[in-house]
Amino acid sequence: MSAAVSPSHEDPYRKYVHFVDGADRDTDHDHYFESVNPTTGRLWGRFAIADDVDVDVAVQSAHRAFRGEWSQMSASKRGSLMTRWGEAIANNADFIGRLEVTQNGKLLAEMKLQAQIALDWLRYFGGLADKIEGSVIPLNQTSVLNYTLREPLGVVGVITPWNSPTFLTIMSVAPALAAGNTVVLKPSEVTSASAIELARLAKVAGIPDGVINVVTGLRRTGEAIVDHPLVRKVAFTGSVGAGKAIAGRLSQRLASYTLELGGKSPNIVFPDANLDQAEAGVLAGIFAAAGQTCIAGSRAYIHEAIYDELVDRLTRRAKSIVLGDPLLTSTQMGPVATSAQLEKDLTIVAQARDDGAELAYGGERVSVGDFGGYFISPAILTGVSQNNRVMRNEVFGPVLAIAKFKDEDEVVCLANDSPFGLAAGVWTNDIKRGHRMARRLEAGTVWLNTYRALAFNSPFGGYKDSGVGRVNGIDAVNSFLQTKSVWCELGDEVRDPFVLKA
C-alpha cells in the first residue's frame, strides 16, 4: 500500500435545511445533526431533522403536485423535463462529485462519473414516460369495450443509503417520475447535501415545485414517511434489517415497496479462467469503492488448482493499492465513510481471525499524511471456512474472504449457502460451464468474466434477503404503476338486474 495526499480539503462549514415545494424549508424546532468529512475527520455540515410535521408538509406538497401540474402535463413533456434535469446534473458533475467526496470519502472520479451518467438514466426513463400504454381486452361480451389505463400510484417515498447517493437516488426517482408519481426523498444522514442539490437542480431544469421534495433526518424521519397514509409506495435502498422493518410497516397499511438491500456476493474463479482478468475482477469487486458497495464481491471462491497462485497475486496487488486523498486521480482507495464503518471493518477482521481465518494482508487502521480520517488498509483473509462470520455477514468495507473449492457442484453449494442473493461473478473460459453456473447461482445478477457492471436498461435487484423488486429497465417503471380496467357498454340492450352477464 502506498499513500497519496493533497491538502485540498478546506470545506467551509455549511448549513442545510429541507427542500419542499421548490424552496428551502427550515424546521420550527431546533433539531439538527452534523456531518463529518471522512477524509479529515472534521465536521463540515449541519442538517435539519424532519419531524412528523415536516414530513407531513413535504408529503402534502408532493400530493398537491401529483393532483395538479404534474398529472396534467403530457407524458412527453414530463419525459423531456426529466432529460433536462439529467443534463443539469451532468453539467454540475464536478460540484456534485466534490460534495459526495466531502460526505462519504469515495473517489472523486467515481462520484463525478455517477453524476454524469445520471443523464443516461434520466434520458432513458424520461423516454419511457410516453410509452406507458394500456391495452384493449377482447372480452366475450362483444358489445362491451374494455380497456386498461396504467396510472401512477401517487406520492412515493424514496429512502436512500450513503454509498452512491446520486446514482441510487436517480435509480429510484427516475422510474417513479416517468410513471407520473411525485416524490418525498429522505437521503442518508451521511450524505444529505447532494440530495438537496439534486432537488435544486430539478427546479432549475423546470420540474414543477412539489414534484421532488427532500427531508433530511435520521431513522425516525424515514419512519414518518413510511407511516404517512398518503405515501403509496416506498422505494428503499439500504440494509436488510431496515428493509424488513419498513416492509412490515408498509404491509400493515397495504402500501407497496421496492427493497434494494445488502449482499455477500461470491466471486468464483475456475482454473480455465483468464487469470489476469480474474485477478482484476476480484480486486474491482471488493477494493473499488473501498468495498462500500452492495454488490461487493466479498467472498472469493478459488479453485484449488490455482488457489496459491491467485491468492499470491491478489495479495501483491492489495499491497500496492494507493490509499489516499479521494480528490486525487492517482488514489485507488479513499477512507471509509464513517467512524462506525471503520470500527465495524476492524471488528469483523478480528472476528474472522478468531473464527480461524488467516490474515494475508491489511485490515488495519492507517494514517495517510496529515489527514485524520477513517483509512483502513485493504484486508485479505485466506482459508476462510463457510461458517466464519466474515463469510456470512455483510461487511460493507474493503475486506475480502477467500476460500478454496474442488469442483462445480461444491462451489455452487458454497455460493448459494447465504441468506443474500444480490450478485455473483464467475470467471471461466468454458462457455457451457459459465451459462450452467448462471442458471444455478441464486442471485439477481450474474456476471460472467466481468464484475461491477450496471446499465439503465438491465434489471437489477436481489434474490432472497437482498431485496424485493427491480430497479433499472422497463419493469422498474411498471412497479410504480397500477392498472385500472375500464368497461363501457356500447349497445342499447336493457339488462335484467338480477342476471349476471358473463
Question: Annotated catalytic sites, by residue?
Answer: 260, 294
Instruction: Tell me the closest approach of the beta carbon of residue 425 to ligand NAD, in angstroms.
Output: 16
165 lines the binding site for ligand NAD (CB under 6 A): no
Give, as ranges, the residues between 254 and 293 that touch ligand NAD (CB under 6 A): 260-263
> What residues form DSSP beta bridges with 231?
155
In degrees, to the nearest 5, what angle opens at C-alpha 336 toward C-alphas 85 and 392?
105
Instruction: Tell me the closest approach of the beta carbon of residue 413 to ligand NAD, in angstroms.
Output: 24
294 lines the binding site for ligand NAD (CB under 6 A): yes
Exposed e or buried b per residue across 256-275, where buried means at least 16 C-beta atoms within 10 angstroms of its C-beta:
bbbbbbbbbbbbbbbbebee
Mark the segment that binds ligand NAD (CB under 6 A) among 62-70, 238-246, 427-435, 487-495.
238-246
Q: What is the CA radius of gyration of the chain?
A: 24
Give 491's DSSP letter.
S
Instruction: Tell me the closest approach of the beta carbon of residue 30 to ligand NAD, in angstroms.
Output: 20
238 lines the binding site for ligand NAD (CB under 6 A): yes
Please, which residue, 155 or 368, has the CB nearer to ligand NAD?
155
Residue ranges of E strands in 218-357? 231-237, 256-260, 266-269, 299-303, 322-324
> What residues form DSSP beta bridges with 468?
259
Please, which residue, 306 or 468, has the CB nearer to ligand NAD?
468
Residue 427's alpha-carbon distances to 268, 280, 462, in angstroms, are 6, 11, 21
166 lines the binding site for ligand NAD (CB under 6 A): no
482 lines the binding site for ligand NAD (CB under 6 A): no
Find where cell 407524458 sits: 75
163 lines the binding site for ligand NAD (CB under 6 A): yes
**Tell me, what amino acid is at 15?**
K
Q: Which position among 27, 188, 472, 479 is part of the footprint of ligand NAD (CB under 6 A)?
A: 188
DSSP H stretches of helix in 320-450:
339-354, 389-392, 408-416, 431-440
Q: Which position among 246, 381, 424, 481 is part of the footprint of ligand NAD (CB under 6 A)?
A: 246
Integer Cα distance of 322 and 332 in angstroms: 5
Instruction: Tell me the closest approach of the beta carbon of residue 419 to ligand NAD, in angstroms.
Output: 12
The 3-class SS string of 22-50 reads CEEECCCCCCEEEEEECCCCEEEEEEECC
Please, which residue, 185 or 278, has the CB nearer to ligand NAD?
185
Please, which residue, 186 or 313, has the CB nearer to ligand NAD?
186
Instruction: Tell me the closest approach of the beta carbon of residue 171 to ligand NAD, in angstroms.
Output: 8
Exposed e or buried b per residue across 312-331, where buried means at least 16 C-beta atoms within 10 angstroms of its C-beta:
ebbbebbeebebbbbbbeeb
Q: Which position among 396, 405, 427, 447 is part of the footprint of ligand NAD (CB under 6 A)?
A: 396
Please, which residue, 126 or 262, has the CB nearer to ligand NAD?
262
Mark the segment that binds ligand NAD (CB under 6 A) among 75-83, 120-128, 235-243, 404-412.
235-243
Please, which residue, 162 or 257, has the CB nearer to ligand NAD?
162
Q: Which position among 61, 80, 102, 237 is part of the footprint of ligand NAD (CB under 6 A)?
A: 237
The 3-class SS string of 154-177 reads CEEEEECCCCCHHHHHHHHHHHHH
Which residues 6+ apart lie within 8 Å of 137 measured at CB? 146, 147, 148, 485
Q: Which position among 168, 235, 300, 437 is part of the footprint of ligand NAD (CB under 6 A)?
A: 168
Closest CA to 337 of 379, 281, 252, 396: 396
Q: What is the largest CA-CA distance in the chain?
A: 87
Give, as ranges, the residues between 331 and 370 that touch ligand NAD (CB under 6 A): none
245 lines the binding site for ligand NAD (CB under 6 A): yes
Give 384's DSSP letter.
-
222 lines the binding site for ligand NAD (CB under 6 A): yes
Give, as ranges, the residues between 100 and 159 that touch ligand NAD (CB under 6 A): 159
Please, which residue, 324 or 421, has the CB nearer to ligand NAD?
421
68, burial (CB in 10 Å: exposed 0-12, middle 13-18, buried 19+):
middle
Mark the segment that binds ligand NAD (CB under 6 A) among 41-49, 146-154, 222-230, 374-382.
222-230
Binding site for ligand NAD (CB under 6 A): 159-163, 168, 186, 188-189, 218-219, 222-223, 226, 237-239, 242, 245-246, 260-263, 294, 394, 396, 422, 462, 467
